[in-house]
Amino acid sequence: MSKDMKSTYGKAPDSYSKKIKIKSWVLFAWMVILTIICLFPIYLLLVNSTRTSIQIGNGFTLIPSTHFSENFKNLTQNSQFKSSINMAYGYKNSAIITISATILTVFFSALTAYGIHVYDFKLKEISYTVILLVMMVPVQVTGAGFLSFMISLNLHNTFWPLILPAVAAPAVVYFMRSYMKSSFPLEIVEAARIDGSGEFGTFVKIAIPMMKPAIAVQSIFAFISNWNNLYTPQMILLSVGVEKKTLPMMMASLTASDKIDYGVVYMAITLSVVPIIVAYVFLSKYIIAGVALGGVKE
Amino acid sequence: MAASGAQRRIKSISYAKYGYLFILPFFIVYFIFQLWPLINTFILSVHGNGNASEKNTTSNDVLVGLSNYKTLLSGGDTRNEEQQHAEFFKAFKTTIILWIGNFVPQIILSLSLAAWFTDARLKIVGKGFFKVVMYMPNIITAASVSVLFMSLCSDKGAVNQILSSMGLSTVDFLKGTAASRGVVMFIQTWLWFGNTMIMLMSGIMGISPSLFEAAEIDGASSTQTFWKITMPLLSPIMAYTLVTSMIGGLQMFDIPYLYHTGTEINKDIQTIAVYIFQRYKNKNGAQFGYAGAASVLLFIVTVILGSITFYLNRDPDEVAKKKQRKKLIKDAKAKSKQFGGLSI
């Protein structure tokens, strides 16, 4: 017993580091498994987009086939899909809505945060509290009232109700305010005033360039959430033709048909997913840093 | 000091209008597109369900009082009302089941991963790569993800092909109650665990490293460090994650709405958000009354959860400042009393 103990004591540092090494490798193996789980569905998607519907029905494989262009042709030319899916329109509509909404969100959130941060006014505290309070009200709660209001304004089936509300994004204002608190000294505003800069000019020419990191992160998140948004477009665009549908709406219409050509379905999903994955590969560093900062409040 | 205070006051008077001007667009848009719709939802909830094709229904313009709430919460006389009541409760129950089923595995996975990634003693190769891959599902369009899993889990989809090639019997993942719910829970976990992991990691990294060093010097094992240091100090962030996840769970829409084939949605995975949506986008005419009443009930639950988050999310500096200000006012009042209540 005492001999055992002595030998254990003598070897302690060695066995300790060995234990950690083993643990590190076990964990590494576990992470590899999780990585496979994360990537496997997407890999299967890409493989299946190269196979015909009959091949997909016959069995699954990890080896890509050669019918990619055939599926693409079917998707773009087959009359069965023409009425509900047109990827070119999808990209266009999603891009119009997403880009306009993102610009509005970022610009007006920065402006609102700047107004609250820089100026002292009576309703300052209360307006910020209101913004914090309404941050949590989800669109699902206001949906019914929103739709009936838009119908009464005759704005349903247009893009306006999908773009204009982006001006008021409480979570983004909250983030921008927190960022300004830590890295936007008020002396700069004073200095700009002495140099004769107008208030709005100071915001555009000095504050916005200084807030670039926060603006970049929030632009990315606003872009992703608008691009992926299904709920509001599906609600507002009640009865529109394929030429006004967004990409997620087209994905939704894929499930609606009873007889499904899976080769084409996988093709359509691939086309909707690949651009955002490619963008993610390039921007992942900023996105992950942004999440860590609490940039995402869904 | 006093002079600069006075100066500041003068400035704040002359520039205050810009403050209002800068926050004005936000509030105008907020009132039109968010606050009024919210009030409108309350208004709709006390009006009829305007279904012209059916008898015994009141139009959207007719005031019906609280009868929509009554129907949803306790049923009614007609079959249609009983059906609404049953469907509403089932949707609520489903939402809770789906949320628990994705939150529990998600938090276990995220928390353990966050602890391992931040453990300085472990040397895991490729941490950065793993983080990037695990977050990736979160940015992919949920609608596409739902259709993808619908295709993979269909009768002759890849999952059933794998099962039958291993000699197991196939499962109806699209229509079976437990199976379809299981798939939705899996998708939700798959989508969100990377996001939760990164949030928890930043929380752990906010804990002072000297505490971990001290624990290591005292000979604490990784397990002890996790339970005795990481967990207690992480509890505010854990609570915040819990509540935001609950609010997110109440809004669960894309996956349950799209995970089916054909035109009918799967009632076993119909969440409360899907129920509301189905009411006001009903093919037989919009039932704004039921939609509004269900929205208001959802709103009440969200407000309760949201106020918890708001409380947890307070800026500690602001709270301290407010306390100080209150104390100053109190002291000043006490002093003025000493002078016989004379105001100067």
Place of tokens 């490729």: B126
- Asked if A289 and A217 count as a contact pair (C-beta separation under 8 A), the reply is yes
* Touching A: B residues 214-243, CB under 8 Å: 222
Separation between Cα atoms, residue A238 and residue A241, nearest integer Å: 10
Identify residue B167 by its one-letter amino acid code: G
Write out the two tokens for B157.
């989809």
Residue in chain A closest to B296 (alpha carbons) equals A141
pLDDT of residue A58: 79
Phi, psi of A161 (to 5 degrees): -65, -10
* Touching A: B residues 101-120, CB under 8 Å: 109, 113, 116
pLDDT of residue B314: 67
Residue in chain A closest to B132 (alpha carbons) equals A284
B81 touches chain A (CB under 8 A): no
Mean pLDDT, each 10-residue run in order, chain B (344 residues):
52 74 94 92 86 52 81 82 89 94 94 89 85 92 91 86 86 88 94 91 87 88 88 84 86 90 85 91 77 92 81 70 80 67 44
Pick B258's closest partner by Cβ from A20, A252, A277.
Answer: A252
As beta bridge partners, residue B8 has none
Res. A135 pLDDT band, cuts 50 70 90: confident
Q: Which chain B residues are within 8 Å of A122, Cβ to Cβ?
A: 16
B42 touches chain A (CB under 8 A): yes
Beta carbons of B302 and A138 less than 8 Å apart: yes
Pick A145's closest partner by Cβ from B137, B199, B292.
Answer: B292
Residue range A139-165: average pLDDT? 90
Q: Poorest-confidence range of A127-131, A260-264, A293-297, B313-317?
A: A293-297
pLDDT of residue B2: 47
Interface test mutation site (partner B, options A94, A117, A119, A272, max chain B beta carbons within 10 A): A119
pLDDT of residue B56: 46
pLDDT of residue A82: 76
Res. A52 pLDDT band, cuts 50 70 90: confident
Mean pLDDT, chain A, integer: 85
Q: What angle, 0 to 180 degrees and rounded to 10, lies between the N-to-C axes of helices B79-118 and B127-135? A: 170
pLDDT of residue B293: 92
Beta carbons of B261 and A258 less than 8 Å apart: yes
Residue in chain A closest to B297 (alpha carbons) equals A141
Beta carbons of A167 and B26 less than 8 Å apart: yes
Q: Which chain A residues are within 8 Å of B311, Cβ to Cβ?
A: none
**Euclidean distance between the first and the last CA atom of chain B, given in angstroms as a whole number:** 20
Q: Is the pLDDT of residue A197 over 90?
A: no
Pick A116's closest partner by Cβ from B23, B161, B281.
Answer: B23
Residue range A105-124: average pLDDT? 92
From B46's Cα to the closest Cα of chain A, the distance in A is: 12
Interface test mutation site (partner B, options A152, A291, A297, max chain B beta carbons within 10 A): A291
Q: What is the 3-state secondary structure (H, E, C) of chain B?
A: CHHHHHHHHHHHHHHHHHHHHHHHHHHHHHHHHHHHHHHHHHHHHCECCCCCCCCCCCCCCCECCCHHHHHHHHCCCCHHHHHHHHHHHHHHHHHHHHHHHHHHHHHHHHHHHHHHHHCCCCCCCCHHHHHHHHHHHHHCCHHHHHHHHHHHCCCCCHHHHHHHHCCCCCCCCCCCHHHHHHHHHHHHHHHHHHHHHHHHHHHHHCCCHHHHHHHHHCCCCHHHHHHHHHHHHHHHHHHHHHHHHHHHHHCCCHHHHHCCCCCCCCHHHCCHHHHHHHHHCCCCCCCHHHHHHHHHHHHHHHHHHHHHHHHHCCCHHHHHHHHHHHHHHHHHHHHHHHCCCCCC
Res. A41 pLDDT band, cuts 50 70 90: very high
Beta carbons of B306 and A133 less than 8 Å apart: yes
pTM score of the predicted model? 0.84
